[in-house]
Chains A and B, each alone.
Chain A
Amino acid sequence: MSFEEDIKRVEEIADKLSSSRTPLEEAIALFEEGMALTKALEKTLTDAKRKVEMVSGDDTDSVLITDLE
């Protein structure tokens, strides 16, 4: 799932949590799902290790990519 879809899901969960029509068992399951999603998202944001690569060669039709970092 993409960042945006995940965020949307968390927002949806927050909405459902504030509705008293959501049964408690469901609310707890939703809460757990929401917290897991935000944790995963935060982790992706802060812990993720990027890849820095460089295109070498001047041929514009093919590409040779080497690691830079």
Chain B
Amino acid sequence: MAELFEVQLSVSELTSLIKKTLEEGFYGLKVAGEISNFRPSSTGHWFFTLKDEGASIGAVMFKGSTWRVDFSPKEGDRVIVSGSLDVYAARGTYQIKVDTMTLAGYGEILAELERRKRRFFELGYFAQEAKLPIPRYPKRVGVVTSPTGAALQDILTVLARRAPGLDVLVLGAAVQGESAAHSVAARIIQANSLLLCDVLIVARGGGSVEDLLPFSDEAVVKAIAESAIPVVSGIGHEVDFALADFAADMRAPTPSAAAELVSASFVQLGESLSLLSAALRQRMESRLTVAEAQRARNDRRALVVRCQALLDSKEFLLANAARSLVQQVQSQLSSAESRVQVASQRLAALSPLAILGRGYAVVQHLDGRVIATKADVEEGQAVDIRFVDGKRRARVEEDS
């Protein structure tokens, strides 16, 4: 047998040659296998063995790559990894340095889900117009989930805090394994046929894509779509999805969120109640303020003041009236006086004495008869001449 090398090699030299050969010759690998002896280190790297029926190979995945893996690998998971060979000289071992890791069959599962989704859509399971409103104040909420799971505890805790009076009916179902889809669907149908509650939560805690598969099963999707009781789905974590979410009347990202959704109105009710009672108080107060103002106008002191005001105004009227009465009497009196004056003046003007005052005299017979004409008296006859201040006797002589 010809020797490969002329010279003798040290262990290091040989190992270095192997390392060079393996690392340069085996890169860009894609390997399918089953995880065993999974050992995450405290520094964040993952160490495990990939194996199949006939062989096994060590594998390492460094912290810089592990964060991209969207599931938690565990013993027995069938995975597909990509990476390159790595030789550890000190121990003389080789292993796969893993860059990416996906669950085997993940791609097929997604494709199958996509096919189902289209079919369910065509069957009308996702019809928007068939969505039922979630009752604002349900009396009893049904929860279809595992009776022993964390999801149920989360839901019970949230409901106890937010709607302590809301009754809960747990409809226990298997949420993983072969029988899960049938079990969940049967509970939804049971709740409907016996009208056990007025809203249903269909929930499951987080898990791998396979774990959530029963919630994408036609039996479950159909039962949800046909449920006369409104259904809220809360399946897995925020990033997870199941076809049940599309059929549900409302989708919540997690079981807790589904419980929050169902109890939302109770929380709002609490808030609007305190607002309402504050409004009642405030309105009653203002109503009483108005009443108090009305009463104040009618109380005794106010009455006295008002009567006084009334009296004052009447008194004023009275005083006015009295004054005008006096004035009127006075003016009437003065007009009477002036009439007397005028009359007496007129009387004075008519008095013959007044004429006598202006130098006239009246000639009378001795018996007082007035001699008005020449013929009334004869020659030698005695007459009286009346002046203003008295009379003189005279004798009539021959007329001239």
Query: Which residue numbers of A lie inside 8 Å of B, CB to CB?
Result: 2-4, 7, 10-11, 13-14, 17-18, 20, 22, 24, 27-28, 31, 34-35, 38-39, 41-42, 44-56, 58, 60-61, 63, 65, 68-69
Contacts and interface: CB of A to CB of B under 8 A. Distances in A.
Interface stretch (B55-63, B182-190, B335-343): B182-190
Given A48-B164, A51-B168, A53-B170, A27 B284 contact: yes
Contacts of B164: 45-50
A24 B292 CA distance: 11
B269 A45 contact: yes
Interface in B158-183: 159-160, 163-172
Given A7-B276, A22-B287, 13 more contacts: A2-B137, A7-B269, A27-B284, A34-B276, A41-B269, A42-B277, A45-B164, A45-B273, A49-B165, A50-B159, A53-B168, A54-B147, A55-B169
- Chain B interface size, as a band, is 35 or more
B165 A14 contact: no
B169, B187, B281, B283 — most chain A CB neighbours (10 Å)? B283
B332 interface: no
12 contacts: A31-B284, A39-B277, A42-B277, A46-B164, A50-B168, A54-B147, A54-B169, A55-B170, A56-B172, A60-B189, A65-B169, A68-B170
Contacts of A55: 169-172, 187, 190, 196
Contacts of A41: 269, 273
A63 B190 contact: yes
A44 B170 contact: no
Contacts of A18: 283, 286-287
B266 interface: yes
B331 interface: no
A17 B287 contact: yes
Contact of A10 (B165, B189, B270, B280): B280
Contacts of B272: 7
B276 A17 contact: no
B330 interface: no
Nearest to B159: A50
B270 A42 contact: yes
B284 A52 contact: no
B168 A52 contact: yes
B333 interface: no
A44 B286 CA distance: 29
Nearest to A59: B190
